[in-house]
Amino acid sequence: MALALALALVATSAARGVDDEREAADETTEAPLSGALGVLSDAELDRRIAFLARRFEAGRRHAALWQYGFTSAWSTGIGVAAVQAGLASDHDDRVAAFVTGGKAIIGTARLLAAPHPARLGTAPLELGETGAGEARATREARLVAGERHLLAIAQRARRRGHWLAHVANVGLNALGGGLILGLGNPSDAISSVGVGVLFGELLIWTEPGRGVGDLEAYRDLVDARRSGGWRDRVTIGLVPAPGALHLQLRF
């Protein structure tokens, strides 16, 4: 009983039957930067995930030090201002302490409400089982989560160079200085504005900024694979058919 072997090329658009479920998954799995993930091989998914993991881990330490360092500094400022206000015997000193404490509360609340995403490192990529036995769906979910995380880090990095961040810093400290000027000692107002603006600028300019470069590098990787990585988008396999085997080409 010899089995006839027929060779045919079948395009993805015409492939049906055993491939229907995979095509349905391909149509619904979209990544923010890579687009449809169904055209990528497992090896390419792993390559992009590994790239993101390296970049996330490289930026984690700086982001964690920045996040927790400034949060601790602002929190300490709240306590110090509260003690100064409680011990002050002079009205002007109490006014300056209250304003300083108020700015410290705002700074702490800002960092707690919007912590820097890069401090998480590779945590967003840690979904389900990893390694050789990892399911295709898990790989795709990890890449989607990683690309979203990369975009969030890059967006945060762009903020420090935006004029609005610096205007807000000067404006908040000017408002505090105005309160001290109106209710307390003018010399306290000048020192409060000066120290506050300097500390605010230190916070802005030391915020991690590598996210923009990481995003550009990842986009270069994606574009390079799209233009030159056709081998990762083409799969060849045998599909059983009545009395024959078809050679299937998916691209």
Q: Kindly state whether residue 46 falls inside one of the protein's structural domains.
A: no
Work out the average pLDDT over 204-213: 95
Amino acid at 113: A
Q: Write the pLDDT tens digit of every residue in 19-50.
A: 444 444 344 579 999 999 999 999 999 999 99
Q: Kindly state whether residue 39 falls inside one of the protein's structural domains.
A: no
Q: How many domains does the chain have?
A: 1
Q: Kindly state whether residue 179 falls inside one of the protein's structural domains.
A: yes
pLDDT of residue 116: 97
* pLDDT tops 60 at residue 3: no
Q: Kindly state whether residue 239 falls inside one of the protein's structural domains.
A: no
Q: Which helix (H) or strand (E) holds 35?
A: strand 35-36
Q: Write the pLDDT tens digit of every residue in 85-100.
A: 999 889 999 999 999 9
Tokens 């990683």 belong to 146
What is the extent of the structural domain holding 178? 57-232
Q: Which residues contact 16 (CB under 8 A, 6 or more apart)?
A: none
pLDDT of residue 161: 84
pLDDT of residue 225: 80
Q: Kindly state whether residue 247 falls inside one of the protein's structural domains.
A: no
Amino acid at 198: L
Q: Kindly state whether residue 148 falls inside one of the protein's structural domains.
A: yes
Q: Kindly state whether residue 131 falls inside one of the protein's structural domains.
A: yes
Lowest mean pLDDT among 30-39, 103-112, 229-238: 229-238
pLDDT of residue 11: 36
Q: How far is CA 235 from CA 49, 150, 176, 248, in A?
A: 21, 29, 65, 8
Q: Kindly state whether residue 141 falls inside one of the protein's structural domains.
A: yes
